[in-house]
């Protein structure tokens, strides 16, 4: 072993000696090949070769020491109000014209919701004043129940604060963002706080607040808190000053209020526009929407993560009690069936359920047949009220409405209503106009991204005697109205401008529009028959006199009697030309025939229908 180690050391030293000698030899050769000074000129540079580049300094990568700590020190929590202040386009404040509309829309929605919950017929006063070239002051006054003093700062100065997000009940507002976001936009663009004056009863003083939102902490800063005079016994007044632009058109404040009056015939709206006369949308119905009730979530609309959280937060001790108390449409018998399919029992302790067992419960729920959720949480407009609203805002000759039964998407109940207005003063050389509503709120933007538009285009309107191009609305003098009522409308964004394209929603919209289309086709066919028979009668009347004279030359007859008989025959043959309509607008039919209560035809001469007192104002019967 010692001999082997000595041999290795000897070989290593020999290799080092050889390496050193080879290195010296290379240096010597290079010195001989180098030109001597003063004896020869350096070689001419090659023109094709590039000039020598200066040596670059190599940037060495820093070590990880301290970098992670520096990055961690820069991380902090982002306030929700700070996020939306930088991304206000998500809330509908992406241009000046739209900012004015969104501000008024959020205030009006809150006023209507408050009045309906308190079962008060809404009286709204909206005023838009132009303070400067691009500065406007918006004032919205309502006769609602008012707001408790302690809640005013949080409602108007804090995002994601409200009473509607956690309940399954139909309402216009859902997220608790709208009115506080409008106040934040006004603060960012003008520096002025939002002003609120509210009164809850005649026996109490009205309270006036000036509030601005602290975007870094998402909390209200109260600038002023004092008592004030208020013109009503109860109600709320909101004043916001903002940078905006006022215009007219189909996406304007004027159009929004006009459509709001159509979907809310029980509301009276007075609108003061800048530089224009006051517009009044009178109340056409004294019937408030049916009061709604909050429901519990339906098992089909719950995802696994939400189920795990509910199991953790529940106060129930056993699985059966948890399922029957936390969900709608789950009885004790159904709860036992779900537990059995999950391999558990109704007496299983809820605190002992692990993740695997929770997933088994979730799968068992999907395999169990359950009733649809209750619909007393919805307040649809109703067929008669749709006719009243359309007649209030559209000058046409034929009106029809279609109401679908309640349906479900993702466990959330919803109901679709549709209406159409045809003929009259509507332009015949343009595509039909589509107006969309979600929980009685008009949707004026992003029409092509909305499930309502896609469903209306899918309908084959040619089958209902109308012209239609491919992937387009029908070309006809017509207004199409669609309303979706739901405990949770699936909007495509926080600005609530379009409805998401769920298959269940799209199917119901299409069926409601087809129902209206059948009524319209029946009216068009009936009108064509009346016109045809009327022309036939004119031809008979034109030649009856000549026919009487020709027969008289052949045989002695009583000319007057013979003429009356011929005219009676002509009237019998063309009886459809004398079709009459009852007070609801559809043709008078013999006893036992079916009429349609959701159809209305307007007299072309008077421009008014013979309507029953339950639909419009009281009318004295004709003598």
DSSP 116-179: HHTT---EEEEEEEE-SSSEEEEEEEE-S----GGGHHHHHHSSS-SSSTTSBS--S--SS-HH
Q: What is the mean pLDDT of residues 466-471?
A: 90
Q: Which long-range contacts (CB under 8 A, 24 or more apart) does 524-528 make?
A: 524/464, 524/465, 525/465, 526/576, 526/579, 526/587
Statement: residue 467 has pLDDT above 50:
yes
CB distance 599 to 420 below 8 Å? no
Q: What is the mean pLDDT of residues 419-426?
A: 90
The H or E element containing residue 393 is helix 383-393
Statement: residue 109 has pLDDT above 70:
yes
Going by C-alpha positions, the residue among 481, 480, 482, 484 that lies closest to residue 415 is 484
Q: Give the integer Cα–Cα distance in Å for 290 and 614.
A: 16
Token output for 328: 């709608």
The predicted structure's pLDDT at residue 428: 87
Q: How far is CA 388 from the centre of its chain?
A: 23
What band does 88 get if pLDDT is binned at 50, 70 and 90? confident
CB distance 123 to 261 below 8 Å? no
Domains of the chain: 82-281 (3.30.565.10), 299-367 (1.10.8.50), 379-623 (3.30.230.10)
Statement: residue 33 has pLDDT above 50:
no
Q: Give the integer Cα–Cα distance in Å for 348 and 319.
A: 5
Percent of the chain at pLDDT > 90 equals 46
Q: Which residue has the higher pLDDT, 278 or 56?
A: 278
Within 8 A by CB and 6+ apart from 336, the residues are 320, 345, 346
Picking from 155-164, 292-301, 406-415, which range would have the lowest pLDDT averaged per residue?
155-164
Going by C-alpha positions, the residue among 222, 227, 185 that lies closest to residue 99 is 185
Statement: residue 623 has pLDDT above 70:
no
Q: What is the pLDDT of residues 323-339, one digit of tens each?
A: 999 999 999 999 999 99
What band does 539 get if pLDDT is binned at 50, 70 and 90? confident
The predicted structure's pLDDT at residue 8: 57
Q: What is the mean pLDDT of residues 407-431?
A: 90
The predicted structure's pLDDT at residue 607: 54
What band does 463 get if pLDDT is binned at 50, 70 and 90? very high
What band does 606 get if pLDDT is binned at 50, 70 and 90? low
Q: Give the integer Cα–Cα distance in Å for 338 and 360.
A: 10
Q: Which residue has the higher pLDDT, 586 or 346?
A: 346
Q: What is the pLDDT of residues 472-519, one digit of tens each?
A: 999 999 999 999 999 989 998 878 889 999 999 999 999 999 999 999
Picking from 35-49, 107-121, 529-543, 579-593, which range would have the lowest pLDDT averaged per residue?
579-593
Token output for 142: 């309502």
Q: Which residue has the higher pLDDT, 59 or 414?
A: 414
Q: Give the integer Cα–Cα distance in Å for 34 and 288.
A: 107
Token output for 38: 């003063």
The predicted structure's pLDDT at residue 500: 94
CB distance 212 to 244 below 8 Å? no
Structure letter (DSSP) for residue 242: E
Positive/negative CA dihedral, 30, 33, 36, 41: negative
Within 8 A by CB and 6+ apart from 64, the residues are none
Structure letter (DSSP) for residue 333: H
Token output for 318: 């056993």
The predicted structure's pLDDT at residue 327: 92
Helix axes 96-117, 253-263, angle to 10 degrees: 20
What band does 614 get if pLDDT is binned at 50, 70 and 90? very low
Q: Which residue has the higher pLDDT, 26 or 437?
A: 437
Within 8 A by CB and 6+ apart from 425, the residues are 395, 396
Within 8 A by CB and 6+ apart from 473, the residues are 431, 432, 434, 456, 457, 461, 480
Mean pLDDT of the chain: 82
Within 8 A by CB and 6+ apart from 167, the residues are 294
Q: What is the mean pLDDT of residues 234-253?
A: 92
What band does 29 get if pLDDT is binned at 50, 70 and 90? very low
Q: Give the integer Cα–Cα distance in Å for 105 and 96.
A: 14
Q: How far is CA 359 from the centre of its chain?
A: 33
Structure letter (DSSP) for residue 221: E
Strand 268-272 and strand 123-130: the pairing is parallel
Q: What is the pLDDT of residues 140-153, one digit of tens each?
A: 999 999 999 989 99
Q: Which residue has the higher pLDDT, 620 or 562?
A: 562
Token output for 48: 């094709």
Q: Give the integer Cα–Cα distance in Å for 251 and 310.
A: 42
Helix, strand or coil, per DSSP, at residue 565: helix
Statement: residue 615 has pLDDT above 50:
no
Statement: residue 374 has pLDDT above 70:
yes
Q: Which residue has the higher pLDDT, 570 or 429?
A: 429
Strand 398-403 and strand 599-601: the pairing is antiparallel
Strand partners of residue 98: none
- Residue 404's alpha-carbon distances to 231, 378, 383, 415, 515, in angstroms, are 42, 13, 10, 6, 9
What band does 292 get if pLDDT is binned at 50, 70 and 90? confident
The predicted structure's pLDDT at residue 502: 93
Picking from 276-285, 410-419, 430-439, 602-611, which range would have the lowest pLDDT averaged per residue?
602-611
Q: Give the integer Cα–Cα distance in Å for 232 and 190.
A: 29
Going by C-alpha positions, the residue among 406, 520, 509, 515 that lies closest to residue 455 is 509
- DSSP symbols for 44-69: PPPTTSPPPPPPPPP-PPPPSTTHHH
Q: Give the integer Cα–Cα distance in Å for 416 and 373.
A: 16
The predicted structure's pLDDT at residue 612: 38
């Amino acid at each position: 072993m010692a001999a082997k180690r000595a041999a290795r050391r000897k070989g290593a030293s020999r290799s080092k000696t050889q390496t050193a000698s080879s290195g010296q030899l290379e240096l010597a050769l290079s010195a001989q090949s180098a030109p001597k000074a003063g004896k020869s000129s350096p070689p001419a540079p090659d023109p094709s070769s590039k000039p020598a580049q200066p040596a670059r300094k190599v940037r060495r990568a820093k070590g990880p020491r301290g970098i992670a700590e520096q990055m961690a020190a820069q991380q902090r929590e982002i306030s929700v109000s700070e996020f939306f202040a930088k991304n206000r386009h998500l809330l509908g404040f992406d241009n000046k014209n739209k900012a004015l509309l969104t501000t008024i829309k959020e205030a009006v929605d809150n006023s209507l919701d408050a009045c309906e919950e308190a079962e008060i017929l809404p009286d709204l006063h909206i005023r838009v004043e132009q303070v400067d070239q691009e500065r406007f002051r918006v004032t919205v006054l309502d006769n609602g129940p008012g707001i408790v003093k302690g809640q005013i700062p949080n409602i108007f100065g804090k995002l994601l604060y409200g009473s509607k997000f956690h309940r399954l009940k139909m309402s216009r507002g859902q997220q608790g963002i709208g009115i506080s976001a409008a106040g934040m936009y006004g603060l960012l663009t003008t520096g002025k706080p939002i002003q609120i004056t509210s009164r809850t009863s005649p026996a109490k003083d009205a309270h006036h607040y000036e509030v601005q939102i602290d975007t870094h902490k998402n909390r209200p800063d109260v600038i002023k808190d004092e008592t004030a005079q208020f013109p009503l016994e109860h109600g709320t007044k909101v004043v916001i000053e903002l940078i905006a632009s006022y215009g007219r058109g189909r996406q304007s404040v004027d159009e929004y209020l006009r459509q709001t009056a159509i979907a809310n015939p029980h509301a009276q709206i007075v609108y003061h526009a800048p530089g224009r006369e006051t517009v009044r949308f009178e109340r056409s119905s004294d019937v408030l929407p049916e009061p709604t009730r909050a429901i519990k979530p339906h098992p089909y609309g719950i995802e696994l993560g939400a189920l795990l959280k509910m199991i953790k937060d529940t106060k129930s001790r056993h699985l059966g009690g948890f399922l029957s108390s936390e969900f709608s449409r789950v009885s004790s018998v159904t709860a036992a069936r779900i537990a059995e399919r999950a391999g558990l029992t109704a007496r299983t302790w809820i605190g002992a359920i692990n993740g695997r067992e929770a997933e088994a419960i979730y799968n068992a729920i999907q395999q169990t047949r359950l009733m649809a959720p209750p619909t007393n949480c919805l307040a649809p407009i109703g067929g008669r009220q749709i006719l009243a609203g359309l007649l209030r805002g559209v000058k046409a000759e034929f009106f029809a409405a279609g109401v679908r039964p309640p349906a479900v998407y993702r466990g959330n109940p919803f109901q679709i209503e549709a209406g159409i207005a045809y003929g009259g003063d509507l332009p015949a050389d343009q595509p039909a106009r589509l107006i969309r509503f979600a929980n009685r709120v008009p949707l004026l933007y992003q029409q092509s991204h909305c499930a309502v538009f896609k469903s209306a285009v899918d309908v084959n309107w040619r089958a209902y005697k109308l012209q239609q191009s491919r992937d387009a609305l029908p070309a006809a003098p017509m207004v199409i109205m669609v309303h979706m009522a739901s405990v949770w409308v699936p909007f495509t964004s926080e600005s609530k401008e379009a409805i998401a394209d769920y298959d269940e929603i799209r199917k119901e919209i299409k069926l409601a529009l087809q129902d209206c289309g059948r009524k319209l086709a029946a009216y068009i066919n009936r009108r064509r028959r009346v016109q045809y028979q009327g022309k036939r009668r004119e031809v008979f009347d034109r030649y009856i006199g000549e026919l009487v004279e020709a027969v008289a030359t052949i045989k002695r007859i009583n000319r007057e009697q013979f003429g009356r008989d011929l005219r009676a025959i002509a009237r019998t043959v063309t009886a459809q030309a004398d079709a009459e309509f009852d007070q609801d607008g559809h043709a008078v039919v013999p006893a036992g025939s079916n009429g349609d209560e959701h159809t209305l035809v307007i007299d072309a001469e008077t421009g008014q229908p013979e309507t029953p007192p339950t639909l419009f104002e009281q009318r004295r019967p004709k003598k």
